[in-house]
Structure 1
Amino acid sequence: MQRITPSQPNAYTGGTLDRAAHRRSDEAWVQSALRDPSSRFVLFWRGHALIAAGDAPKAALVSRPELDAPWVFLGLQDQNPVFAADLSALDDPHILYGTSFAFTDMRSLTALLPTDDATILATARAMLHWRAQTKFCAHCGAPTVPVRGGYVLKCTAQGTEHFPRSDPAVIMLVTKGKRVLLGQSHKFPIERNMYSTLAGFVEPGESLEDSVRREVFEEVGVRVGAVSYHSSQPWPFPASLMLGYHAEALTEEIVLETDEMRDARWYTREELENHRDLGFNLPRHDSIARRLIEDWMAQTAPR
């Protein structure tokens, strides 16, 4: 099969954030950076990011909030330390900031955010979610405390260390000849009538290529042969890593797994180009699903 290469970086990737992992274990440096007035903080409240208002939205990088809140050292941006802090314990965090800022769902802004901002916010959201979900040791139930800049949570009883996790998920555009296979999950709002690439989580002991083949067969009953990697995208809602592939179908008959899928269909290039006129929608432009579709259309177009 023809290998389809990415035309541009995916959303939440390509930023210039220096994660400065070597600084995390330097407790004196981290504490000094926390007190440094030049350090910047990105703030979250119940999964929403603090965004600066304006014609072009951007992450609000502010000074350290004057309250005790869970924090994580994210790295260096333009040589300045950047932290994330979680204000979810507050009933109303808006009292801390004026009308120039608002806590906003990142997913509504992804395509509009500058690359550096999107990278910082994605990292911050995933790390703060992990911290909130890992307050107690999974081995003994004792409380955990943050160490190494917040990138490790340590059991207060036995010293067991817990590390951030990203759940790998494959997402694939299945092709056969001049057609692609798109599906509609029950998770998609029915009024949008959106058809997207198939996707699913990687299981233990499974290669990524085998995961692609298994998920496609489980969801739509189509057998897949050749699998070609395209690109990846962190998806911090809450903590996935999307691994994008193009996959070549060996069979065409669709046998729908109705518990997960509402519908699945084969589409030609012409139908994808005219999807609005035909009454269906494609994934958002900031998603890796849309990138898989558009790169296939661009790189397999007749010359």
Structure 2
Amino acid sequence: MTLAYGNMPLDRGTNQRKNKRWLAAEFTREDTLFCVINDGQCLFNKEEVLSPIYLSKSQVPTVNVDSCIYLGKGDLGLQSLDNNTLDTSTAGNSNIHQPSAISIFAIDFNKLRFSTQEALSEMGQWQGLRKVTANLSAIDASILALAKGLVHWHISHQFCGQCGHANRSVEAGHARRCSDCRNMSFPRTDPAVIMLVEKMFSDGIPRCLLGRQASWVEGMYSTLAGFVDPGETLEQAVIREVVEETAIHVENPQYIASQPWPFPASVMLGFTAVATSEKIDISQDDLEDARWFSREQLVNFGVNSSVIAGEDSADNPQYKLSSGDSISSYLITAWKNKEIGQY
């Protein structure tokens, strides 16, 4: 199973993007593309087969290079600017020097002129990325996730955390410099651990520990998760979070996989862990419920495709997993299929 948002085909050009002449040349190339982020939403076509809309420079004529964010350059397949989409079916990891490599920039919708904003809204439809990820190629989802994350970071870091003066975008949108004290800020990513906790019960049946919050769609359960505290290892965070949320003690945390999670700015670090206790207590945390599930029970779970829309699914059984784009769904499915874990 491939984790969403982690299939980045772009070479981010860490050294090249600091060269203003190189960046200006990429910005003005005819084949350079732009994706626009509007209040966290991405622009898609209105066709039955959903595709993100990538714009040419002529479609955003008033933007300048300093107001854009350089995402990177890659061999993205054949361009199809007639309908403003890309054929990413043959795209793959590439190097920035390949002749066929295309540069992509991200733009904050609010930096566009009103006439351009109107034209874009008529051209396509704005959708939240998580709501449509299942319909996108892995590459498109990864590019849009990067764009969304960086645009959000710029919006939320407009002022210097040291002196309070305005920050300015520098280094092709990958840093912000204070206009007064010159303090530099860089995009932050908050590490969070997410863990599939398992235990072999006295009846000889292994079970995993899942929980739910009251705000979630009825019947939806997920793996436990939490942010890493300062001064602790990832393994320590796994142990602490599980006992804080459920009073279950665990040992032997084992790293499985990671996933970019720009909602708004995290990286999810997936683990398994073995429980050494059984009795759940959620009275000290914000979980509405937590319980043990066997593999047989998980087989009857529905995958909740309407979590993001906040709607229930009529064809679901009693319980359901979170949206399939999450590493939580990956961990649960992998454990159910005996691909991870000790039992």
Indicate whether the TM-score tops 0.5. yes
Match of 1:220 in 2: 246
Over the aligned positions, Cα root-mean-square deviation in angstroms equals 1.9
Match of 2:219 in 1: 193
Aligned CA distance change for structure 1 residues 270 and 163 (closer, same or farther; 3 Å): same
Whole-angstrom distance in 2 between the partners of 1:63 and 1:138: 35
The reply to whether residue 80 of structure 1 matches residue 102 of structure 2 is: yes
Whole-angstrom distance in 1 between the partners of 2:116 and 2:275: 51
Shift of 1:56: 2.8
The residue identity in structure 2 corresponding to 1:13 is G
Whole-angstrom distance in 2 between the partners of 1:87 and 1:98: 10
Deviates more, 1:134-143 or 1:88-97: 88-97
- Runs of at least 5 residues in structure 2 that lack an aligned partner in the other structure: 76-100, 201-205, 303-315
Match of 2:271 in 1: 245
Of structures 1 and 2, the one scoring higher in RCO (CA 8 A, sep 6+) is 1
The residue identity in structure 2 corresponding to 1:105 is G
Identity of matched residues, %: 37
Match of 2:335 in 1: 296
1:40 and 1:81 in contact (8 A); partners too: yes
Whole-angstrom distance in 2 between the partners of 1:139 and 1:73: 26
Deviates more, 1:209-218 or 1:268-277: 268-277
SS of the equivalent of 2:27 reads: helix
- Runs of at least 5 residues in structure 1 that lack an aligned partner in the other structure: 1-7
Aligned CA distance change for structure 1 residues 136 and 215 (closer, same or farther; 3 Å): same
1:71 and 1:128 in contact (8 A); partners too: no
Shift of 1:119: 1.0
CA-to-partner distance for each residue in 1:89-133, whole Å, 9 max, x for gaps? 667965223655211111111122111111110111010101111
Normalising by structure 2, we get a TM-score of 0.80
Deviates more, 1:25-34 or 1:260-269: 25-34
SS of the equivalent of 2:4 reads: coil
Shift of 1:144: 1.3
1:144 and 1:156 in contact (8 A); partners too: yes
1:170 and 1:212 in contact (8 A); partners too: yes
Whole-angstrom distance in 2 between the partners of 1:141 and 1:98: 35
Number of residue pairs matched by the alignment: 292
Whole-angstrom distance in 2 between the partners of 1:300 and 1:20: 36
Normalising by structure 1, we get a TM-score of 0.91
Among 138, 157, 171, the alignment partner of 2:161 is 138
Deviates more, 1:176-185 or 1:92-101: 92-101
Whole-angstrom distance in 2 between the partners of 1:62 and 1:295: 38
Match of 2:326 in 1: 287
Whole-angstrom distance in 1 between the partners of 2:228 and 2:283: 18
Q: How does 1:1-303 map to 2 (within 5 A)?
A: 8-64=1-57, 65-68=60-63, 70-78=67-75, 79-88=101-110, 95-97=118-120, 99-177=122-200, 178-189=206-217, 192-257=218-283, 259-276=285-302, 279-299=318-338
CA-to-partner distance for each residue in 1:36-70, whole Å, 9 max, x for gaps? 22110011111101112333322211113133484
